[in-house]
Structure 1
Amino acid sequence: MTTTYAGVPATSTPAPARRLLRQLGIDTQYVLLGFPLGLITLVLCVTGFATGVGTAIVWIGLPLLAGSLAMSRGFAHVERVRIGPVLRRKIPHPHYRSARSTSWVGKMFAPLADGQSWLDLVHGVFRFIPSTISFSFVLVWWAVAVAGLTTPFYDWAIPHPPENVELPELLGLGDATITRLVLNVAIGLFFAITLFPVVRGAALLEAQFARGLLSGVDELRQQVATANAARDVAQEQKAAAVSAEATALRKLERDIHDGPQQRLVRLAMDLGRAEQQFSTDPEAARATVAEAISQTRETLDELRALSRGIAPPILVDRGLQAALTALAGRCTVPVDLDTPVIGRLDAAVESTAYFVVAEALTNVAKHSNASEVQVSVERNAVGLLVTVSDDGVGGASLAKGHGLAGLDDRVRAAGGVLAVDSPEGQGTRLTAALPL
């Protein structure tokens, strides 16, 4: 029944109480039904196993043993479904070894070589122990709680021996019948108050025993596989970081060699020529010095450009949005920039996102023949999505030997993923997903 107070709906039973009552019902039916199931599986599994082992010498026992394992697997499937609501999570079905042979004989004997099938059989045989313990506690607690609380409704119909009226009066308890009713109700109330923890503990005892045998080994195997996968990912990220660093150093060395180094060599030659001209032709010497000064300014500009490629000051000082705005302003191809205010991010994430856009715009300017570039940065709950698309000639690739291979290493080193969609003649779309 639902009522409203001041426009706010209210229920007669609070939500926590409903959850407790629901869990109490789930645990109770699990334990009460588990006891007869335990009896059935005990008889069938022990009979099948004993018969199969006893007649294995004449070969007929092997099919019986395989059938017992298949039967125990069926009971195990049922139990995994039953313990899910008790443990409040879905219990995954483990991996069973499939038959390597395609013949019916190979399929029939496949359970004999499967470890999980034997664990299912062990559970079918020994589940009777926790089932009996849990069933005893649950049945006693429910019976005493119900019987004690309802004593006033049926006590009159139960014959009682002659009462010793002197003892209650001596103890100051008054009438013996009332005393008996009060004591029974008090005992029933105690068992009712402690009913949920007792039933919950009994259900967990039986459910955890089943989980350990029916899915524990498979869960451990999955955890090991997950740990191995995480280790492989970490190793790949380490290798990608080393590769990206080596690529960046080679690029920096090439840029310095082709740019500032050549200008400095020419600057040294010009200054040497000017030194010789001062004594014979001062005007030519001044012209040579003026040209050397111009070469110095151009060298400084190139060094500033290289320093921006290593650690852009604007990125460090003002963040990713300002750095990308400055980057788009320097691009020779018109850039449509969509960078909403996303706040400051981790320095490694900002640096990686900046270099993704910088490298992409450089490739667009050099190779794409594009007339426009769209750059967008989007932050969601799990990461940062950077997209750069153009309307150029396409044909870009992440394969080794191409210009984007080093960028892919940098993104993977940050734990992200880089994807390129670049069909010939249809432009290029580069997307980088970086975790936060």
Structure 2
Amino acid sequence: MTTTITPMLGHGRISRVFRQLGVDTQYVLLGFPLGLITVVLFLTGFALGLGLFVTVVGFPLLTITIMQARGFATVERARLGPVLRTRLPHPYYKKAKADSGFWRRTFVPLSDSQSWLDLVHGIFRFIPSTLAFAFVVTWWAGALGGLTTVLWDWSIPRPPDNTDLPELLGMGSGTATRVAFYTAIGVFFALTLMPVVRGAALMEAMFARALLSGVAELRERVAAAEASRDVARAQTVAAVSAEATALRRLERDIHDGPQQRLVRLAMDLGRADLQFETDPAAARATIAEALSQTRETLEELRALSRGIAPPILVDRGLRAALTALAGRSMIPVDLELPELDRLAENVETTAYFVVAESLTNVAKHSHASECKVTLQRSAYGMLVTVEDDGVGGASLAKGHGLRGLADRVKAAGGELTVTSPAEGGTRVTAILPI
């Protein structure tokens, strides 16, 4: 298998190199005449427009020249893509409103900065185009001419006293020496053809990219940075909100459960202390009840600790933790859990709480008869799905229990969606990055 695939990979790589050589060559060869056309066309239009500024004719002439520059710039951006192997953003051009008058349509293009950059490129592009053209033509001519010397050397007439370059360099005379010398030159040009042509094409392409797409690329980077900043802010807000919600719920659960039991336990122990001397039997009964309260309090505290950081999740991973969670559910749960490697701690914890909170809501509100939990890895990340056949009506709106869960998922960089039509059934889906 290896001996078959490796040559195929090598052949594909070689074909890409030669394809790029062809792309770069045609880019440079076509860029030279385009540079000559644009420099003559734009300099003429610009000079006429400036010269006729004193009349009203100058402004329309400049606008026509600007619009021509836009057209040539669009063509050049299309040519740049294969050379640079990337997509270049199309810049934003100012446009006059549809109901604008003639003079409004005339002046709007003149106030657009990118249009002037297009014009500057059209005027000065002949400089890198000419340099690149000279190098590419020289190297192609040297490579092709040198490597084919043996085919055409005999056809060139030479006088008897003709002295060739090899003889001047002291390399001897004769047809064989001359052919070998020029063939060696051809080999040199052929071996350096690809880097020279690539360098010439990139020189011309980078000049065009800076003027024709530089501003648009900068705007895209700024927009991406602002979007990342907004996402980071939203995640921070969601994390704070989720933390506050979790703390409030923990405080409520402790107040409503273990705290009340501990107060009752203290009262029972105080009553038993008073009963020891007068009624030992009643004191023993009170202490037995206090022990029962202690056990129930410990169970509630264990349940609360599992809600904070379940030990099985830390020790054995997400699959084992969800299996244990489904086993404690009051609603029958069908699990579809693939074999998973250990994931990042925040991903496992968030996925666990998505399932735990969803199963709690199913037990409390849905009146469902069964539930299904699915984990699936996809190109987008870890997909966690909890479905039930209950009454529906769940929502992510503020004030609903799932809102805090959505904040927790968002804080982890994911997204939570809830589909719960009124006619019944709820589907909670969380996508978490991995």
Offset at residue 9 of structure 1 (A): 12
Shift of residue 61, structure 1, vs aligned partner: 1.5
- Say whether residues 1:38 and 2:39 are aligned partners: no
Map 1:353-372 → 2, pairs under 5 A: 353-372=351-370
Bigger drift between 251-260 and 216-225 goes to 216-225
Secondary structure in 2 matching 1:389: strand
What is residue 252 of structure 2 aligned with on the other side? 254
2:120 corresponds, among 112, 116, 122, to 122
Matched with 2:238 is 240
CA positional deviation for 1:22: 2.0
Distance (whole Å) between structure 2 residues aligned to residue 236 and residue 123 of structure 1:
42
AA at the equivalent of 2:75 = V
Instruction: Give deviations 1:329-386, integer Å, cap 9, x for gaps.
Output: 1111111111121121111111101111111111111111111111111122441111
Q: How far did 1:285 drift? A: 1.3
Judge conservation of contact 1:168–1:176 (CA < 8 Å) in 2: no
Distance 1:329 1:15 in 2: 54
Distance 1:418 1:225 in 2: 25
Do residues 417 (structure 1) and 415 (structure 2) align? Answer: yes
SS at match of 2:87: coil
Alpha-carbon distance between aligned partners in 1 of 2:168 and 2:398, rounded to the nearest angstrom: 100
- Which amino acid letter does the alignment assign opposite residue 249 of structure 1? L
> Aligned in 2, Cα 1:174/1:100: closer, same or farther, shift over 3 Å?
closer
Deviation by residue 1:360-419 (Cα, 9 ceiling, x = unmatched): 111111111111111111122441111111111111111111111111110000000000
- What is the DSSP-based 3-state SS (H/G/I as helix, E as strand, rest coil) of the residue aligned with 2:277? coil
Alpha-carbon shift at residue 109 of structure 1 (Å): 3.2
Q: Distance in 2 between matches of 1:313 and 1:9?
A: 49
Residue segments in structure 1 that go unaligned for 5+ positions in a row: 1-5
Matched position secondary structure for 1:58: coil
Alignment map for 1:34-433 (pairs within 5 Å): 34-100=31-97, 102-105=99-102, 106-163=104-161, 175-433=173-431
Q: 1:112 to 1:166 in 2, by over 3 A?
A: closer
CA distance in 2, matches of 1:117, 1:171: 55
Counterpart contact for 2:166–2:181, Cα < 8 Å? no
Q: Pick which of 100-109 and 376-385 moved more.
A: 100-109
Following TM superposition, by how much is the alpha carbon of 1:163 offset from its aligned partner in structure 2, in angstroms?
Answer: 2.6
**Secondary structure at 1:96 match in 2:** coil
Aligned equivalents of 2:84, 2:235: Cα separation in 1: 37
Task: Report the identity percentage.
Answer: 67
Q: Indicate if the aligned counterparts of 2:334 and 2:372 stay in contact, CA closer than 8 A.
A: yes
Task: Please list the CA deviations of residues 135-194 of structure 1 after superposition, one character each: whole Å capped at 9, or x if unmatched.
Answer: 111112222332233333333333334437899899985543333333222222222222
Q: Secondary structure of 2:94's partner?
A: coil
Q: Which amino acid aligns with 2:319?
A: Q
Q: Could you tell me how far 1:91 is from its partner in structure 2?
A: 2.5
- Aligned Cα root-mean-square deviation (Å): 2.4
Mapped partners of 1:200, 1:290: distance in 2 = 89
Q: Is the 8 A contact 2:164 2:178 kept in 1?
A: no
Write the distance in 2 (CA, Å) between the matches of 1:196 and 1:428. 61
Question: Using a 3 Å threshold, how does the CA distance of structure 1 residues 262 and 17 change in structure 2: closer, same or farther?
Answer: closer
> 1:65-97, CA deviations, whole angstroms, 9 ceiling, x for partnerless residues?
111111111101111111211112232322223
Query: Conserved in 2, the CA contact under 8 Å of 1:55 and 1:61?
Result: yes
Cα distance, 1:138–1:416 mapped onto 2, change above 3 Å: same
8 Å contact 1:99–1:110 — kept in the other structure?
yes
* Number of residue pairs the alignment of both structures matches: 430
Deviations 1:233-273 (A, max 9, x none): 11111111111111100000000000011111111111111
| Displacement of 1:103 | 1.9
Q: CA contact under 8 A between 1:101 and 1:107: conserved in structure 2?
A: no
**Aligned mates of 1:266, 1:246 — CA distance in 2:** 29
SS at match of 1:370: coil
CA contact (8 A) 1:165 1:176 kept: no
Q: Which residue in 2 is equivalent to 1:3?
A: none
Q: Give unpaired runs (5+ residues) of structure 2.
A: none
Distance 1:170 1:207, change over 3 A: closer
1:287, distance to aligned residue in structure 2 (A): 1.1
Q: SS of 2:374's equivalent?
A: strand
State the alpha-carbon separation in 2 of the partners of residues 298 and 8 from structure 1. 66
- Partners in 1 of 2:274 and 2:87 — Cα distance? 88
